[in-house]
Chains A and B, each alone.
Chain A
Amino acid sequence: MKKLRKYLFLPLLVLLAFTLSACGHKDQNVYQKVEANKHIVWGVRADTRLFGLTNVKTGKIEGFEMDLAKALTKQMLGKKGTASFVTTTANTRIPLLKNGNVDAVLATMTITPERAKQVTFSKPYFPAGSSLLVPNNSKITNVKDLNNKTVLAVKGTTAVDDVHKSAPKARVLQYDDYGQAMSALKANQGVALTTDNGLLAGIAQENKGYKLVGGVYSDAPYGIAVDKGQTDMANHIDKALKQLQANGTYNRLLKKWFAGIPGFSLKGVLK
């Protein structure tokens, strides 16, 4: 029995230690923590071309937001600052932020009043707006045409509410990420995919035979989110963002990712 006990309880102890070791993140000043560790954990997306997409060759996530996060990290913490990335989806990013898994979320997140009750936003860093992606031969030209039709979206995005407002009779199906939503569009599960124009431009670029229509039917600027009340962190992000916009880094990154993308204009985006 002694032997049995030893064998049984050892792994349990390991499990206990492993779960307890990560305690105690609540109510601390995130900025002081990242400043001390010289390290920021960013919540990002891995399913959106141009913003953040997993490169199958390297397994790493690449995109505008990745570059911006790295630049912000250096700007805030100096040359020694390092960034690491946690993949989030539209429906996991807020819980992960509130739970302390990530220090800040830079993941195509639109600033909305409802979300502002849950998290603190930086100044907008990208002026996105909801738009539509349809097959080239589609008869749909704007959001009103979606009434009585099925439109596809991603769980937890603002585009869902925007469709409900602009086309109340549309039926909305929601998926966990853009890969699944786009696969569903190709499987004819709906007539259009709706989300922000920047994301759709990226999706259109990799999927021949699909186009953006209807222009922007609702403004949805992106902000960087930190947990509610972490104003210190938000202020430092704002300051760093302003510096990047002033020294030309921001424009350089924008051009690197968005220059020449069909259906997307840099006019009014560049600072």
Chain B
Amino acid sequence: METFIHAYSWVDIRFLLQGLWVTIYVSLISIALSFVVGLILGLIRYMKIKYLSAIVGFIIDIIRNLPLLLIIFFTYFGLPQLGIVTNPTSASITALVIFEGAMLAEIVRSGIGSVDPGQMEGARSNGMSYGQAMYHVVMPQALHNMIPALLSQFVSLVKDTSLATIIVLSELLYHAQIIYSQNTTYLIPMYVIIAVMYFIICFCLSQVANYLQKKYNN
């Protein structure tokens, strides 16, 4: 018990909170950007544009079937060979956006697919252009349908930020590792507290997803 009290001294907690902030910050930016990327790629896939949709679909399939860890390595070690200097933060965000963007694209595609095609036809026959119909009629319903899947993907994204410790992104898990590698009696207290921190963030997000799912089902 005493170990726990020592381990949770203000100095350590503050250090962990700094890591937590990086986790949240990287997650938020990645969620925002990957949502945009997913939306665009999902639309392209759905619209079946000649060649473009097939190529985009192929790339999405490749990315979706690779481990995120590998994509993190590619962005951290690979992008610089194309002349783009990366640091752990930008490399992690880029990797998360690429990976989660591809995952979200699938959700978006099937979300739009779930909207009755009659809606689009109806909107078009009322004089709307394709873009207008998509934006005003189809998209709002599609987004509504895919909210639960989107949110659970965002939960995955938050958890996945922990993988970036491998390129020394100074996020929550990495900060915990620094503390317990300097005083190994803190091993258990550190894992307890970071598990709780991750749990609180992800559980709240999951609950929102559950709530929306129930609301939608009714």
**Smallest CB-CB separation from B130: which chain A residue?**
A1
Report if B15 contacts A (CB, 8 A): yes
A101 to B97, CA, bound (A): 21
Q: Which candidate, B55-63, B86-94, B119-127, B142-150, is the interface stretch facing chain A?
A: B86-94
Residue of A nearest to B81 (CB): A99
Total A-B residue contacts, Cβ distance less than 8 Å: 100
Q: How far is the CA of A207 from the CA of B184 in the complex (A)?
A: 8
Task: Say whether B84 contacts A1, CB under 8 Å.
Answer: no
Complexed CA–CA distance, A115 and B3 (Å): 43
Name the residue among B37, B79, B80, B166 with the largest chain A CB count within 10 angstroms.
B80
* Contacting pair B84 A101 (CB below 8 A): no
Instruction: Give A24's nearest chain B residue, CB to CB.
Output: B83
Among the stretches A123-131, A175-183, A241-249, the one at the interface with B is: A175-183
Complex Cα–Cα for A207 and B12 (A) = 18
B94 and A19 contacting across the interface, CB-CB below 8 Å: yes
Q: Does any Cβ of A come within 8 Å of B65's Cβ?
A: no
* Interface presence of B114 (CB below 8 A): no
Q: Are A1 and B132 in contact (CB under 8 A)?
A: yes
- In chain A, what residue has the closest Cβ to B184? A186
With contact pairs A1-B135, A11-B32 given, residues A99 and B77 touching in the complex (Cβ less than 8 Å) = yes
Q: How far is the CA of A95 from the CA of B86 in the complex (A)?
A: 12
Count of A interface residues, CB-CB < 8 Å: 42
Task: For the complex, count residues of B whose C-beta is within 8 A of A.
Answer: 43
Residues of chain B from 150 to 191 with CB closer than 8 A to chain A in the complex:
165-168, 170, 177-184, 187
CB neighbours (8 Å) of A92 from chain B are 76-77, 167-168
CB 8 Å contact bits of A1-12 with B (1 = contact, 0 = none): 101100010011
Q: Which residues of chain B are within 8 angstroms of A178 by Cβ–Cβ distance?
A: 181
Asked if A183 and B80 make an inter-chain contact with CB atoms under 8 angstroms apart, the answer reads: no
Q: Looking at B36, B79, B179, which has the most chain A CB atoms within 10 Å of its CB?
A: B36
Q: How far is the CA of A92 from the CA of B87 in the complex (A)?
A: 12
Asked whether B131 is an interface residue with its Cβ less than 8 Å from the other chain, the reply is yes
- How does the 8 Å CB contact mask read for B64-83 relative to A, with 1 for contact and 0 for none? 00000000000011011101
Q: A3-B135, A57-B11, A59-B18 are known contacts. Are A101 and B178 too (CB-CB below 8 A)? A: no
Residues of B within 8 A of A206 (CB): 182-183
- Which of B81, B167, B184 touches A182 (beta carbons < 8 Å)? B184
The CA of A53 and the CA of B183, in the complex, are separated in Å by 13
Does A36 interact with chain B (Cβ within 8 Å)?
A: no
- Chain B residues with CB below 8 A from A25, complex form: 83, 85
Q: Are A8 and B39 in contact (CB under 8 A)?
A: yes
Q: Is A26 an interface residue (CB 8 A)?
A: yes
| CB neighbors of B among A88-135 (8 A) | 88-89, 92, 95, 99-101
Question: In the assembly, what is the distance between CA of A52 and CA of B167, in Å?
Answer: 17
Residues of A within 8 A of B187 (CB): 183, 186
The answer, among A3, A20, A88, A180, for a CB contact under 8 Å with B84, is A20
The minimal Cβ–Cβ distance linking A208 to chain B, given in whole angstroms, is 10
A180 to B184, CA, bound (A): 11
Q: What's the least CB distance linking A152 to chain B, in Å?
A: 13
Q: Name which residue of chain A comes closest to B181, CB basis.
A: A179
User: In A1-43, which residues have CB < 8 Å from any B CB?
Assistant: 1, 3-4, 8, 11-12, 15, 18-20, 22-26
A8–B94 CA distance with the chains assembled, in angstroms:
17
A142 at the interface (CB under 8 A from B): no
CA–CA, A20 to B94, complex, Å?
A: 13
A251 at the interface (CB under 8 A from B): no
Q: Does A54 belong to the interface (CB within 8 Å)?
A: yes
B134 at the binding interface (Cβ < 8 Å): yes
Instruction: Answer whether A12 and B36 are a contact pair too, CB < 8 Å, given A1-B129, A47-B181, A179-B178.
Output: yes
Is A157 in contact with chain B by the CB < 8 A criterion?
Answer: no
Interface residues of A in 168-191 (CB under 8 A from B): 176-180, 182-183, 186
User: A56 and B15 in contact (CB under 8 A), knowing A4-B131, A8-B39, A101-B86?
Assistant: yes
State whether the Cβ of B33 lies closer than 8 Å to any Cβ in chain A.
Answer: yes
Which 5 pairs of residues, A with B, have the shortest CB-CB distance?
A179-B181, A1-B131, A99-B80, A22-B85, A23-B83
Interface on A for B, CB 8 Å cutoff? 1, 3-4, 8, 11-12, 15, 18-20, 22-26, 46-47, 49, 53-54, 56-57, 59, 86-89, 92, 95, 99-101, 176-180, 182-183, 186, 206-207
